[in-house]
Amino acid sequence: MKNDFTPYEQAVALKQLGFDEPCFGYYEPNGNFDYIEKDIIKDFPYLAKNSEWQDLVASPTLSQAFRWFREKFGYYANLFVDDDKTFGFMISSFVEEGVLEKPIQRNYSSYEEAELACLIKLIEIK
């Protein structure tokens, strides 16, 4: 199940970019991952400085992180498979003149590898 959540480094970067949505997953101060089975953590440290969760870092699912980039910044992640069965991605956004596309990145050996590379690139862009 941990593979569905953002890795620690990207969770920290998302927090620095202002990610503040409720999540099931989180990282403890030592970097250990954990998740809540029956509830969503809504009160994360960057929402309330006196919170008991103050030292935790929210870890959204990858899907939630991509949705957040669409809604907050207007960046659309497009993942694909090439004819040679390698994977890649392209990032697009709508601007007044039409669609702005970032260069295509390809030649990843798995969908998951391309997905993580795309998330890292989205963080880099912002």
Q: What is the mean pLDDT of the chain?
A: 84
Lowest mean pLDDT, pick from 39-48, 74-83, 93-102? 39-48
Q: Residue 48: what pLDDT?
A: 41
pLDDT above 80 (res 69): yes
**Which residue has better confidence, 94 or 74?**
74
Q: How buried is 50 (Cβ within 10 angstroms: 0-12 exposed, 13-18 middle, 19+ buried)?
A: exposed
Instruction: Check residue 35 and give its pLDDT.
Output: 81
Which of 54-63, 91-100, 102-111 has the least mean pLDDT?
A: 91-100
How many C-beta neighbours within 10 Å does residue 57 have?
Answer: 25
Higher-scoring residue by pLDDT: 84, 100: 84
Q: Average the pLDDT over each of 37-46, 77-86, 98-107 and give the range with the smallest value.
A: 37-46
Model pLDDT, residue 110: 96
